[in-house]
Structure 1
Amino acid sequence: MGQNNNKRRSAVKTAQQFIQHFYPFCQGAILAGSVIRGTATKTSDLDIVVFDNAVPSPYREALIFNGWPVEVFAHNLTSYKQFFQDDCEIAKPTHPHMVAEGIVLIDKGIVSIIKSEAKHLMKKGPAPWAPEEIYLKRYFITDALEDFIGASDRGEELFIASTLADWIHEFVLRTNGKWIGDSKWIVRALSNYDKDFTSTFVEAFDVFYKTGNKEKIINLTDNVLAPFGGRLFDGFSMGKK
């Protein structure tokens, strides 16, 4: 715990120095990411969101500062709104999450307002899926599952499994009104929703990748689809008039 606290203090100090060096006249800045959550690894970087009215258009930049890898998400005082909206539309609230959870490095009267906007969006959750969307997703998951069951080429099996993992996580979270993720955030988003399901999910894919046994993934997929009518193939139609 002490090591994490020391790393966090070092990160905050470095982030403040970074802002003073590169954005001394900005209206606000936030430090987000794994360092402030206490989950940093040896490769973690500093995620810094900057609000500066002198920035003509938003940009993202990566660089090294005082030995730390730094990722900057720079916005003017209006551009962040479009990013908030775009993230929410795809149910991956990267920008709202960073702003909502982040530590304020500097605030000249605007950061508290933007943080309130971000927290409101995070609490509200994504727009619910329409029945037509659930119907479509059931079909695509079924199609991928059947390909997975029938595949005998190890390379094909590996990448179909990857697709199933992504689609199953999306289906579970979206049908329950929760935000989704990608990469490491797939497991984190699932865990935020249901830790027991996440353990089952991870175990199913872990067993397959280690042993080639598909049974747990097949059972997992069927259990996820069951409340919505199960697998969907016969009778599926899209675009037919």
Structure 2
Amino acid sequence: MNDQVSRAKQSARLIIETRYPDCDAALLAGSFVRGQATATSDLDLIVFNESVADSYRESFTSDGYPVEAFIHSSTTIREFFRQDRERGRPSIQRMVTEGLVLRNHALLAPLKAQAQTELLAGPPVLSLAEADRARYFLTDLLDDFIGVTDRTEGLGIAARLLEQATDFRLRTSGHWTGQGKWLIRSLAIVDPVEAKRLTDAFEAYFRLDEKQAVIGLLEQWLDAQGGRYFEGFSIGK
């Protein structure tokens, strides 16, 4: 354990002792645990208290760190497992799996085992209707990108397109997706070649206003799932 992680863990333990002295268990998760912390990284804490009926989160600073604390019981966190699995974005499973134990309790072992099992199993397979919906909305946004001539509008469309296309690639391929920094990171984990193609293509647009690499790549991704989709799509009918 390096000095950065050791200091973070020491500060996290102090938070648990002073702010949550009656908790049953606690974990330190996030970028410090993964060795990816930056100057602005916060301490992500999961605090277990079996007496709480509803989960909640708190944000505060301590010992120079910004802190995000997620307070759960073993029941409420399992509900978050379910929600994250359904949306294909395993934020809480990842935090529980990787979390360093700050205060131990018998409830942790089965929760860690469940979180790891769900991570390894992957998300639910998209239904045909869900895949078609994703294909339609990516087609629609890609057409907006192709047609836009105003640079300012193009930047906004491209930002949305980067997120939507990455999510499309991951979910239609049966993989977990992510949010923020975990979106591209999730693609890089399962397909580093396509992740680099994606970043290179969007770099060409953002830096040089060149669209073709983005268009060509996303059309390939659409083709792999049946191609562009517009004619015949219906929702809410």
Superposition TM-score, scaled by structure 2 size: 0.95
Map 1:90-101 → 2, pairs under 5 A: 90-101=87-98
SS of the residue corresponding to residue 59 of structure 2 reads: strand
Alpha-carbon shift at residue 13 of structure 1 (Å): 0.8
Residue type of the alignment partner of 2:151:
R
Residue type of the alignment partner of 1:150:
G
Q: CA RMSD in A?
A: 1.5
Deviations along 1:71-128, one digit per CA (max 9) or x if unpaired, are 1000123111111111111111111110011111111211111111111111111110
Matches of 1:95 and 1:179 in 2, distance apart? 13
Matches of 1:127 and 1:227 in 2, distance apart? 19
- Which of residues 148, 170, 180 is equivalent to 1:183? 180
SS of the residue corresponding to residue 132 of structure 1 reads: helix
**Residue 45 of structure 1 contacts residue 69 of structure 1 at CA under 8 Å; is this kept in 2?**
yes
The aligned residue for residue 61 of structure 2 is 64
SS of the residue corresponding to residue 74 of structure 2 reads: coil
**Residue 27 of structure 1 contacts residue 109 of structure 1 at CA under 8 Å; is this kept in 2?**
no
The aligned residue for residue 210 of structure 1 is 207
The aligned residue for residue 138 of structure 2 is 141
**Residue 49 of structure 1 contacts residue 72 of structure 1 at CA under 8 Å; is this kept in 2?**
yes
Residue type of the alignment partner of 2:161:
L
The aligned residue for residue 237 of structure 1 is 233
- Which of residues 39, 42, 66 is equivalent to 1:42? 39
Matched-pair identity in %: 38
Alpha-carbon shift at residue 239 of structure 1 (Å): 4.5
Matches of 1:78 and 1:237 in 2, distance apart? 40
SS of the residue corresponding to residue 178 of structure 2 reads: coil
The aligned residue for residue 149 of structure 2 is 152
Deviations along 1:181-207, one digit per CA (max 9) or x if unpaired, are 111111111111111111111111111
Unaligned runs of 5+ in 1: none
SS of the residue corresponding to residue 228 of structure 1 reads: coil
Matched, 1:16 2:13: yes
The answer to which of 97-106 and 129-138 deviates more is 129-138
SS of the residue corresponding to residue 174 of structure 2 reads: coil
Matches of 2:194 and 2:38 in 1, distance apart? 25
Unaligned runs of 5+ in 2: none
Matches of 1:157 and 1:203 in 2, distance apart? 17
CA, structure 1 residues 116+240, in 2 after alignment: closer, same or farther (shift >3 Å)? closer
Alpha-carbon shift at residue 141 of structure 1 (Å): 1.1
Matched, 1:121 2:118: yes
Matches of 2:175 and 2:80 in 1, distance apart? 19
Q: Which runs of 4+ in 1 moved over 4 A?
A: none
Matched, 1:223 2:220: yes
**Residue 74 of structure 2 contacts residue 111 of structure 2 at CA under 8 Å; is this kept in 1?**
no
Matches of 2:152 and 2:47 in 1, distance apart? 43
Count matched residues. 237
CA, structure 1 residues 8+240, in 2 after alignment: closer, same or farther (shift >3 Å)? closer
